[in-house]
């Protein structure tokens, strides 16, 4: 009898330990919105925008488009997830929403909920399309057939091209958008994240994409980073995705350390080009160095060396002539 009681006690201790460990893992620490203000400041400008409050305008170039420029789609357990090559991609493509201004271009409004991507998806025969979900719009509203159907912020590609790493090269001409949208339907696939009590837009069905691409698709696992950043390595997406506390402390309000005057913000084509070169991960910088452009630069160096040699030779006779005249 005593032996059975002892065994039962040991089992209860082990079970309690397991439950406590799982609860500890589930109870991830919350961080302040300040993490966005601090981490994104080097890559753009924070401004106080009417009706939105603090928003971030990236120095990413005149042709920047969210969920289009310098990134590609990967499938994770949460659905189609945007993997960005920008250092700040862990934040601006997985939290908050994007909006557009005809003068300032695209700007980001921070929020506290993480997601694989905040876009609306459409399917139209041989095409998939997506567009950034606007601020304040819920998933249910975005599933309405008329949501954002008349603006030109949609991006479409042929179904077979959806997984390309250079997907920006396969965008359908915008002249075709009206016809495609007219014959499209909203993709309403979702994923329920019980751990965070959240619901995400999952995008196209995996089986449909496999048929369109002729490829077997294996979902990428997600591992949580302890520090800001993200990296795709050996079938795992390592990404920083803390739970954000939207309620600021009474003694200190989260805010950017520097806020630019909206009137002083330049057009995307006129913004600081020096910042843009720091927007891309080192991996992409290495790729660019290996592209034909780097060969061209080496040729330029060779040409400069040839010119230098030619200049030296052309200077020699002149110096010799001066010596003769002096004699």
Residue 197 region by backbone torsions, left for phi larger than 0, else alpha for psi between -120 and 50, else beta: left
Terminal CA-CA length for the chain: 123
**Cα 78 from Cα 68, distance rounded (Å):** 20
**Over the chain (327 residues), what is each successive 10-residue block's mean pLDDT?**
50 42 47 96 96 95 94 97 97 97 96 95 95 85 70 92 96 93 92 92 97 95 94 94 74 84 92 53 41 36 48 45 42
* Predicted local confidence at residue 260, as pLDDT: 95
pLDDT for the residue numbered 4: 53
CA-closest candidate to residue 92, choices 123, 120, 62, 59: 59
pLDDT at residue 92 in the model: 98
Contacts 24+ apart (CB under 8 A), 215-218: 215/163, 217/75, 217/163, 218/75
| pTM recorded for the entire structure | 0.75
- Which residues lie across from 82 on neighbouring strands? 73
Residues 84/88/93/94 CA torsion (nearest 10 deg): 110
Domain ranges within the chain, ordered by starting residue: 31-291
| Encoded tokens for 192 | 């329920």
* Per-residue pLDDT at 137: 78
């Amino acid at each position: 009898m005593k032996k059975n009681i002892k065994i039962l006690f040991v089992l209860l201790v082990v079970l309690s330990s397991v439950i406590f460990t799982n609860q500890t893992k589930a109870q991830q620490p919350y961080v302040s919105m300040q993490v966005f203000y601090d981490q994104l400041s080097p890559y753009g400008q924070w401004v106080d925008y009417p009706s939105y409050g603090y928003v971030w305008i990236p120095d990413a170039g005149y042709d920047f488009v969210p969920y289009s420029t310098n990134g590609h789609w990967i499938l994770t357990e949460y659905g189609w997830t945007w993997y960005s090559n920008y250092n700040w991609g862990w934040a601006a493509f997985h939290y908050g929403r994007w909006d557009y201004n005809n003068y300032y271009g695209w700007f980001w409004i921070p929020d506290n909920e993480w997601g694989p991507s905040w876009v609306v998806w459409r399917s139209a025969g041989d095409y998939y399309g997506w567009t950034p979900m606007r601020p304040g719009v819920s998933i249910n509203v975005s599933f309405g057939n008329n949501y954002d159907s008349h603006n030109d912020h949609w991006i479409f590609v042929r179904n077979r091209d959806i997984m390309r790493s250079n997907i920006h090269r396969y965008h359908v001409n915008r002249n075709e958008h009206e016809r495609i949208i007219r014959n499209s339907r909203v993709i309403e696939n979702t994923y329920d994240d019980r751990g965070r009590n959240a619901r995400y837009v999952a995008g196209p069905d995996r089986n449909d994409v496999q048929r369109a691409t002729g490829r077997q698709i294996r979902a990428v696992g997600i591992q949580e980073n302890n520090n800001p950043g993200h990296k795709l390595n050996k079938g795992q997406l390592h990404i920083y995705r803390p739970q954000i506390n939207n309620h600021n402390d009474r003694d200190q309000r989260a805010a950017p350390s520097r806020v630019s005057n909206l009137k002083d913000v330049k057009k995307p084509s006129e913004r600081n080009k020096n910042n843009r070169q720091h927007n891309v991960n080192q991996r992409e910088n290495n790729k660019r160095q290996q592209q034909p452009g780097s060969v061209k630069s080496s040729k330029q160096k060779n040409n400069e060396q040839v010119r230098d040699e030619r200049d030296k030779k052309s200077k020699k006779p002149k110096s010799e002539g001066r010596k003769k005249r002096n004699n």
